[in-house]
Amino acid sequence: MHELTRHSINGIAFWRDDDLLAQSGITVAFSERTGGVSAPPYESLDLAAHVGDDPAAVEENRTRFLAALGLAGLQPRLTCAEQVHGTGIERVTEGLVGSGRSALAHTRPALAGIDALYTALRDTPLMLFFADCVPVVLVRPSVPAIAVVHAGWRGAIAGIVGDAARSLMALGGGSDLMTFTGAHIGECCYEVSDNLLSQFRSRFATLTPVCGRLDLAAAVAEDLVRAGVPMESQRRLDMCTADNTDRFFSYRAEEALTGRHCAIAAISGASF
Ligand SMILES: [Zn+2]
C-alpha cells in the first residue's frame, strides 16, 4: 500500500513513500522545515534560492536534505524550475539536468517560466519549492517516470496538475499513474475573494461551498480525476502549512517573509 511515512534523520524531518522506494527505486518525498542552518526568518531547512536567504545556507540545506534521503551523490544532477505561478511544463532531458541545482555562482539557472518538471532520466532529482502552494508528485513506475508540480491557485485553476498527468501518460507504459499531494495551506486557512471562489466552483464541480475559503487540494484532485487518475490512486498529506509553522513554511501565516520546503522525486539508477 502506498502511503507517506514521516522520518526524522539528524533533525531533518520529511515524508516519503517507503514502499514505492523499496519496490521500484523511486523516491517521492516532502520536506519539513527543521534540521537546516538558515537563520530567521528562513529557519531552518530553507531549500529555495530565490527568497533572499544566504545562498551558502541554502546550499548546505540541500546537501543535508539529499543526504538524509540517501541521494547525496545526486546533488550535481538536482534540477529545479523558476516557478512563476504559470502553466509551463518542461520535460527534463540530459541537456537540462542540473538547472538551478545551486544557489552559488557558475551554475545553470532554474528553468525559466516553468512550474512543472517531468523526466524519465534516472539519478535526476526534480525539486520544487513551496510555502502554502500545493506540491504534487506524479509517478509512473512502469516507465519509470516522475513529475513534480507547483500549484498555487493560478496553476490549479488552469489545470497544470492534470496537464502534468497527461504528459506522463504520453510516455507510454501501463495505467499505473499515482500521485502524492504534500502539505499546503488548507481550506481552514485559505481565505479568498468571492469572485475567485466562484471561478473555482464553475470549473470544479466537487468543491463544497464553504464561505470565503478555498480547498485547493480538492480542485487538484478533481483535475487529476479528469485526467484519468482515480481518487484511489491519489495520496494526500492532509496537513495545513499555515496551522503548522513550526514544521512547514507558510507565506500567508508568516507575512510573506519565510523559506520554502520542497517536493522531490528521483528514479534510482540501480536496476529494480
Ligand atoms: Zn489551516
pTM of the predicted model, to two decimals?
0.97
CA atoms of 111 and 93, how far apart (whole Å) = 12
**Which alpha helices (H) appear in the chain, and where do they start and end?**
18-24, 55-68, 153-158, 160-169, 194-203, 216-226
* Complete domains list, the chain, with CATH: 5-267 (3.60.140.10)
Strands (E), 50-123: 79-80, 89-91, 116-119
Interval between CA 85 and ligand 1 midpoint (Å): 21
Tell me the chain's radius of gyration from C-alpha atoms.
17
Interval between CA 187 and ligand 1 midpoint (Å): 6
Interval between CA 197 and ligand 1 midpoint (Å): 17
Instruction: Per residue of the chain (272 residues), give pLDDT as tens.
Output: 678 999 999 999 999 999 999 999 999 999 999 999 999 999 999 999 999 999 999 999 999 999 999 999 999 999 999 999 999 999 999 999 999 999 886 789 999 999 999 999 999 999 999 999 999 999 999 999 999 999 999 999 999 999 999 999 999 877 899 999 999 999 999 999 999 999 999 999 989 877 799 999 999 999 999 999 999 999 999 999 999 999 999 999 998 899 999 999 999 987 55
Tell me the sheet residues that pair with 179. 138, 234
C-alpha cell at 173: 507504459
Q: What is the pLDDT of residue 40?
A: 96
CA atoms of 141 and 28, how far apart (whole Å) = 12
Q: What is the pLDDT of residue 10?
A: 92
Relative to beta strand 178-181, strand 234-236 is parallel
Interval between CA 5 and ligand 1 midpoint (Å): 21
CA atoms of 159 and 33, how far apart (whole Å) = 28
C-alpha cell at 213: 475559503
